A and B are shown apart, each in its own frame.
Chain A
């Protein structure tokens, strides 16, 4: 069976026009006795190392305390038993590290830095230290302060962005309040407590729930260093994956007036197959084809002189993705009319199959874009973490690209008929604000 799948992969790769190769992501993988998953990728272009430690716990696991995963991420920078408030960041910056930061994703939380090669021991020590010694530094004051910062971040990313609240409204309609993808606003964040934080860290921040990716100009004894800094750590519970599927049974429409936008916008979203599931690559190829001018031409034929921009996206997430179309009309465009034009255009897709040339073109662009995403060593470390979080091998690149070679007109037609149905979608009609 494995031979057969290898042969199939080889055949699919032959069909792929511009070839990326897993050779770009050569790696070694080790599991320490305590369960820490360690992946190294050597790349000696620059005298730098990328350190990326991910805990396999993210915002989809905090449904009982929405916003907790993100709050914990912030508190990881507020000191430990051995380091003062912000001292870890400061030490790394003094040594030349850049981009020291973290990101809370749905399925994992990633802590990363890019530093001169000789800083590797310090970066490992800091990650090991906060893996084990964060809890004593968590106080009522730091939790209160970071709650405020997370609220500030929401205001920064959502409230004062032109379409920030539109997108929040769309996600909130598609994913009900109990769903892990439901957006978390200030009201819910303010309910978080220090005890919740301590419990989260105690349960999930341990070596057996983490993957450490080291990429770049690594020393020969890198694994010995990892063992020295992490080998004596213990714990790390892997949280169960919550159910993520949503299956709308009727169309929902949201009509709102944007706080800031001066243009009419229409956005629509459908639940679509999860990352790397059958149908995910079809959605990507359809998105690339529509974005290459096809959808804009169709909509402009239906409603001339009304469109400023239109774009599509397959927002791929493990377990449940989202296919979106978002259009911006002129200030005088009626969102209802714009919606009708988009609907008429999408309807054409049901009867007009994509051509082989269109599909090949999209696959080729994905191949180039995949290589573009591997230019920096920290990008490579992040890509490896994405594959690992999805349960794939670190060098799953060839298989990833082979998915696109397997897409054809029939599989895209199946995706359109099964997914892009009006009774499965949420539509947002956003009217422009009056003059400020």
Chain B
């Protein structure tokens, strides 16, 4: 046998195994090495005496910087007689600056390539934007000037107030929002759930005037109350320099107001709650609604609290279970959505679905069955818990992917004045969550007698839901009542 023949035969002898190997590779997915490497950036926090506080994350991948100035003029700071003043103040910021109109102000931002935005929450009022790194200093100075000298032009103020007073009327066309307010009402026991989100009743908003809003803002635009948030292509030394320059003209503490009539009353920190509503289930009649909205959930620990990661694992597990049950098995909804409301009375988890009116009973029943099944199951698979944990670890990492996402994380830290290493601590807590801990959280938080509901829909949907919802503690509220229009 020649060498070449031997080689050919040897080669032929390996063909079946090669073919088998190829077939196996074609039929079976490759194995993935276990474990996910999570990379979180270092958050720098500095608290110089007299302020302002700085939270910074360096990210030099793009020549971009996301910046924000946050002041403690959130809903918690609203004086009792002026609910909603924080939101009105935030809106007025972009209506112009002293001596210049809204168009002129936006042109100044536009010249820097920026599109500014404002937001308010329980703690903070935030003005922020994203710019090329070369424009970071100019835009931070502009934002500082914007906060210190907004226009209180009467026409602009009237327009802003009109938008805010009409908000509940506009929101009456948003069933998802109305169902969310119903769930807040049930979860927190509130007559006026909007107040817990800093939404002022129209009649109270109408009593605001430009002087009062101006005084509220001035009372909070001090170096001592300000927090600067920066993420992107800027290093710590330059960031500190930019901050010191931009806020050089800000007073360290509030300046005395010239007239006592425009001075804001002291904040109570309690929001504008109007007393408890004793019900865990709110039904919202809405005759023209083509689909029913089912919202469910309850209070949960805030970001930065040791219990929050375990609760996040439990709620993610529940949401994916419901997604399978309602979309894949029942085919009654397109998606199970979730969100966390940050209210004056704490955070509230909300899951919600939209279903056809005739499917409401089956959907509610399926959710309750799943809750019972989960709370009765003390032996969760460690593997399932590990999968959920991994997806939340990935989300933690993606929260810092790019300057704008990072700025959102910094706002979370600044809202509760959390330490700079909170993301790392949260990750460590998350990694400690095991099946036993999840079972504890589920047994406690998802128990049938703690879970809250809101169903908005037509009479058929409410009748159908009524047959499956908990019997006790039901309350019927109109959209107008939930929105403060009644």
Residues of A within 8 A of B (CB): 17-19, 24, 43, 45-48, 82-83, 86, 91, 93-98, 114, 116-119, 121-122, 125-126, 129, 145, 148-149, 152-153, 155-156, 159-160, 162, 258-263, 292-294, 297, 300, 305, 308, 328, 330-331, 357-358, 360-362, 364-365, 367-369, 371-372, 374-377, 432-433, 435-436
Contact = CB atoms under 8 A, between A and B. Distances in A.
Contacts of A97: 394
A214 to B, nearest CB: 16
Nearest to B456: A436
Question: Which among B101, B158, B172, B333 has the highest number of chain A CB atoms within 10 Å?
Answer: B172
Contact of A375 (B131, B134, B402): B402
10 contacts: A18-B113, A121-B32, A122-B32, A155-B291, A160-B176, A262-B173, A292-B107, A357-B111, A358-B107, A365-B114
A17 B289 contact: no
Interface of B: 26-30, 32-33, 36-37, 39, 59, 61-64, 101-103, 106-107, 110-115, 130-132, 134-135, 158-159, 162-163, 166, 169-170, 172-176, 286-291, 293, 327-328, 331-335, 354, 356, 387, 390-391, 393-395, 397-398, 401-405, 479-480
B110 A119 contact: no
A117 B64 CA distance: 25
Shortest 7 CB-CB contacts between residues of A and residues of B: A375-B402, A368-B113, A361-B110, A293-B103, A152-B334, A156-B334, A364-B113
B174 A375 contact: no
A121 B101 CA distance: 56
Contacts of A377: 401
A237 B111 CA distance: 47
A297 B103 CA distance: 8
A330 B101 CA distance: 23
A45 B61 contact: yes
Given A155-B290, A308-B166, A371-B64, A293 B106 contact: yes
B405 A98 contact: no
A153 B331 CA distance: 11
A372 B134 CA distance: 15
Given A46-B397, A125-B30, A261 B173 contact: yes
B132 A368 contact: yes
Given A292-B107, A362-B110, A375 B405 contact: yes
A98 B287 CA distance: 38
A48 B396 CA distance: 13
Contacts of A125: 29-30
A98 to B, nearest CB: 5
Contact of B288 (A47, A365, A433): A433
A87 B249 CA distance: 60
A96 B36 contact: yes
Given A260-B173, A293-B103, A368-B114, A116 B36 contact: yes
A149 B331 contact: yes
Given A357-B111, A433-B173, 20 more contacts: A18-B131, A45-B401, A47-B37, A98-B394, A122-B32, A149-B327, A155-B354, A156-B354, A259-B288, A292-B106, A293-B103, A293-B106, A330-B166, A361-B111, A364-B113, A376-B402, A432-B173, A433-B288, A436-B172, A436-B479
Contacts of A91: 29
Contact of B103 (A117, A294, A330, A331): A294
Nearest to B174: A162
Given A160-B175, A292-B110, A375-B405, A122 B30 contact: yes
B29 A24 contact: no
A154 B62 CA distance: 38
A331 B166 contact: yes
Given A125-B30, A149-B327, A292 B398 contact: no
A91 B390 CA distance: 13
Nearest to B293: A160
Given A305-B162, A330-B166, A436-B287, A162 B113 contact: no
A376 B387 contact: no
A159 B163 CA distance: 26
A203 to B, nearest CB: 22
Contacts of B174: 162, 260
Nearest to A362: B110
A361 B286 CA distance: 46
A260 B110 contact: no
A371 B33 CA distance: 34
A365 B113 contact: yes
A292 B111 CA distance: 12
Contacts of B26: 82
B286 A436 contact: yes
B112 to A, nearest CB: 7
B318 to A, nearest CB: 16
Nearest to B132: A18
Contacts of B176: 160
Contacts of A153: 334
Given A95-B32, A118-B32, A375 B106 contact: no
Question: Which among A98, A114, A358 has the highest number of chain B CB atoms within 10 Å?
Answer: A98
